[in-house]
Structure 1
Amino acid sequence: MKKIGVIDIGTNSMRMLVSQIKNGKALDSYKTLQITRLGEGITRGIIIPQTLENNLYHLGQFKEQAIKDGVEDILVFGTSALRDAKNSEDFIKRAKDELGLFIKVLSGEEEGIFGFIGATHGLSKEATIIDIGGGSTEFIVGNKEGKIPYSLSLDMGALRFAEAYVHNDPITREEVYRIEKRVTSIIKDVPLQFYPNKKKNIIGIGGTITSLAAIKQNLEVYDTNKVHHSIIFRGDLDIFLKKISPLTLKERKRIQGLHQGRANIIIPGTIILKEIMNYFRVEKLTVSDRDNLEGMLYYYLSKKNFKKSL
């Protein structure tokens, strides 16, 4: 048996999945998360120097932990923040030179595909995936043969909109309205083939959606088994926003089920999901705790043509 590590350098957080592999299948796995906010300053199109250093530090810490745990191969990928930042090559070069880690920056379409592979593993592939991240939102449509005819990435994310629209604590009604209006202006141009089909599974992934599932269940400690395959109804979002919108950041950090590092972006992320579900008349979605981390691992195990570190 061998161990493989997968690191996702996201816009709001950095995550690592470590899995033990036997006969080409992932067995025991664990995840580690660190709020790193690589996308801080995303509206200016750059990675802030202090943020760059912080992310390099935590990337190095993840590598050390992986080696200590006996990981033989490490796969590293980046998403929206590294796609958009003008100075992302500086970060990628330093990761390679200083840490010996090769980072693959996924296109929006690739991000959606890997999210689909992870979210539908062990389920019917005839599904629509909605992935709300820190910097972008992906719509992925799969058919029953497991193929992905349509994948779309949109520049709307929880951290991106928090930086662009939220300047008061607590958030004002005007700021909520501006986010709602912006989301609607983006999704109204989504082609018809991406409209969620009620006959298919509608699956939600990403930190906003898994956080909402944990909050709904009032989880004192995040439990992947309780979050995975739980249900979020459209009506849940109105209730949740009515409850938390008047709260200050300090008060939101005390919400049971919510990681403190997500307290500043949970409202914009929830508004994005609410507007999507309202616009497309989605009454409920199934939450998946499996996403592009697992998708990258499953793809690597099946193809093994992904450039790895170590």
Structure 2
Amino acid sequence: MAKIVAVIDIGSNSARMAVFARTSRYGFYLLEECKSRVRISEGSYENDGFLQEIPMQRTLQALKNFTQVAKSKGARKIFCVATSALRDAPNSRDFLQRAKREAGVQIKIIDGDKEAYFGALACLNLLHQNEGITIDVGGGSSECALLNGGAIVQKISLDIGAIRIKELFFDGKNDIEGAKSFIKKELEKLPSIFSHKYALGIGGSIRALSKIIAKERGVAFLHGLEVEAQYYLDFCKKICNGSSSNLKDMGFNEDRLDSIRGGALIFASLLEYFGVKKVITSGVGVREGVFLQDLLRGHNGRFPKGFNPSFRSLLDRFEGKHSLGKEIKREALRLFDVLSPLHSLSSELKKPLAIASRLSMLGEVLGCHSCSLHSSYLAFNGLEYGYSYQERQLVKTLIEYSNKKTPKESKFKHLSLKDLKILTDILALAKILATKDCKLEYRLDSDNDLHIIGESYLARDQIQKISKNFDFGIEFGEKTLSRVFHKTHYQVSF
């Protein structure tokens, strides 16, 4: 497979391109992303589905520019797929020939079932939650897939999309009841098996909704954002009843003002029909699905068990040849187990601790100064796929406070400051104690002091400097070096 791969998706509303860079067999990251509001379906729903000349010209120009960008990034392979607008258009073959001739792009029109599959494949592999119903509200159609037990159970495509609803019911009129009736009729096609408490939201309309909600909640990323379904339902109702000026005041971009009402109405209708309790926004969709189908061919569309492409890509790009990341992870997990009588932490917290430990020295790529700060930044922003926002935030916090700083508060619902501090203390110790040769011994005595046996003189000196901040005493061999700090400066009972 080519190292740099571009995927173009021509939707009814926008044409988008994603350029992916592979760093190893399965590791990859998003190198470039482009979008153009080509509105290829503009006027088509009022003209028996025929694509109109001006929208086609816009799309051809965007395709030319996309291929230029892809090649400038080193793409050796370019996939291009088209969805609802082209599969519905009687003159789609003419457009495909023009795209090949004028832009040098070979377009593949995919049916609704395949479109639903690509979105589901992306969520299945790149979201932290891979059970639920994917909902992809597009411009001309909406695709849904039921995910259960790590597999795609069923898929369906419905002829309801934000642009289709806009042109049929909102342009020059405000026929909300007609739009609701039209959507309701399409929903009758859904099999009864489509019911789940989780909805995985895909597509531009849903991302536009989530972007405003994320801003309200102070969340930096959309991918993996978790919000109660009722919040979306209330928001969508407000949108459907609002004017263009109201929508702009809500924070919607100019290019969404005329289509977001249709998209919100469809999304709210699907949420209610499926009985959804929580919405998880997906930043991935058809483009990622096309890329993954190529990347994972011969592997049943799944990564190897326990594999995460973002984690692997970070190590591929930033881990130094002589990094002690593996050894730090090893010592951190050993310390977690040895200190377990002092804490009541769930064993599930070993996962973020292991990730933070393994990535804690990535910042060395920029030098030793502020290594923890740089490592935390790379981890937080680089763990793009397969982690929730809370998991990324926890990994960032553990790395950032594994040096000399002490966290003053916990921003995690199920993790107290005391628990957060024991995790940062463990990582701080592991970073000091890690060596290529594992010769250390740990034991906890009856006074709940940690005995470290086999440490180097330098490690002993470094630990002595920071042990006053620990919530437990430390002894080296038989000689107590830091219990005095523990008893004098920081007394915490477990």
2:81 is aligned with 1:77: yes
Unaligned runs of at least 5 residues, structure 2: 299-494
Name the residue aligned to 2:23. Answer: 22
Q: Deviations over 1:4-53 (max 9, x none)?
A: 11100111001010111122332243321111101112312111011111
CA distance in 2, matches of 1:128, 1:19: 26
Select the structure with the greater relative contact order (CA < 8 A; seq sep ≥ 6): 1
SS in 1 for 2:171: coil
Query: 1:245 offset after TM fit, Å?
Result: 4.1
Unaligned runs of at least 5 residues, structure 1: 305-310
Name the residue aligned to 2:54. Answer: 50
Over the residues paired in the alignment, what is the CA RMSD in angstroms? Answer: 2.3
Q: How does 1:1-310 map to 2 (within 5 A)?
A: 2-24=3-25, 25-43=27-45, 44=47, 45-122=49-126, 123=128, 125-146=130-151, 148-168=152-172, 172=174, 175-193=175-193, 195-198=194-197, 201-218=198-215, 226-245=221-240, 247-249=242-244, 252-253=247-248, 255-256=250-251, 258-303=252-297
Q: Indicate the structure (1 or 2) with the bigger Cα radius of gyration.
A: 2
TM-score, with length taken from structure 2 = 0.56
CA distance in 2, matches of 1:76, 1:46: 21
CA distance in 2, matches of 1:93, 1:134: 23
Say if 1:87 and 1:114 are closer, same or farther in 2 by CA, change over 3 A.
same
Query: 1:260 offset after TM fit, Å?
Result: 2.1
Query: 1:127 offset after TM fit, Å?
Result: 3.0
CA distance in 2, matches of 1:142, 1:247: 34
Moved more, 70-79 or 118-127: 118-127
CA distance in 1, matches of 2:268, 2:30: 35
CA distance in 2, matches of 1:247, 1:214: 18
SS in 1 for 2:283: coil
Say if 1:187 and 1:261 are closer, same or farther in 2 by CA, change over 3 A.
same
Contact 2:124 2:150 in 1 (8 A): no
Say if 1:37 and 1:250 are closer, same or farther in 2 by CA, change over 3 A.
farther
Q: Deviations over 1:162-202 (max 9, x none)?
A: 0010034xx74xx2222122211211231112x1223xx43
CA distance in 2, matches of 1:41, 1:292: 24
More strand by share: 1
The total of aligned residue pairs comes to 292
Contact 1:7 1:293 in 2 (8 A): yes
More helix by share: 2
Identical pairs, percent: 30
Query: 1:242 offset after TM fit, Å?
Result: 4.8
SS in 2 for 1:217: helix
Residue type of the alignment partner of 1:292: V
Query: 1:226 offset after TM fit, Å?
Result: 1.6
SS in 2 for 1:130: strand
CA distance in 1, matches of 2:69, 2:245: 31
SS in 1 for 2:189: coil
Residue type of the alignment partner of 1:15: R
Moved more, 284-293 or 154-163: 284-293
Query: 1:251 offset after TM fit, Å?
Result: 5.2
TM-score, with length taken from structure 1 = 0.87
CA distance in 2, matches of 1:84, 1:242: 30
Say if 1:271 and 1:145 are closer, same or farther in 2 by CA, change over 3 A.
closer
Say if 1:231 and 1:70 are closer, same or farther in 2 by CA, change over 3 A.
same
SS in 1 for 2:195: coil
Contact 2:134 2:199 in 1 (8 A): yes
CA distance in 2, matches of 1:50, 1:40: 9
SS in 2 for 1:218: helix
CA distance in 1, matches of 2:129, 2:162: 28
Say if 1:100 and 1:151 are closer, same or farther in 2 by CA, change over 3 A.
same
Contact 2:120 2:134 in 1 (8 A): yes
SS in 2 for 1:226: coil
CA distance in 2, matches of 1:13, 1:22: 29
Moved more, 233-242 or 58-67: 233-242
Contact 2:240 2:264 in 1 (8 A): no
Query: 1:72 offset after TM fit, Å?
Result: 1.4
Contact 2:165 2:179 in 1 (8 A): yes
SS in 1 for 2:275: coil
Contact 2:146 2:153 in 1 (8 A): yes
CA distance in 1, matches of 2:190, 2:79: 32
Say if 1:63 and 1:254 are closer, same or farther in 2 by CA, change over 3 A.
farther
CA distance in 2, matches of 1:4, 1:251: 41
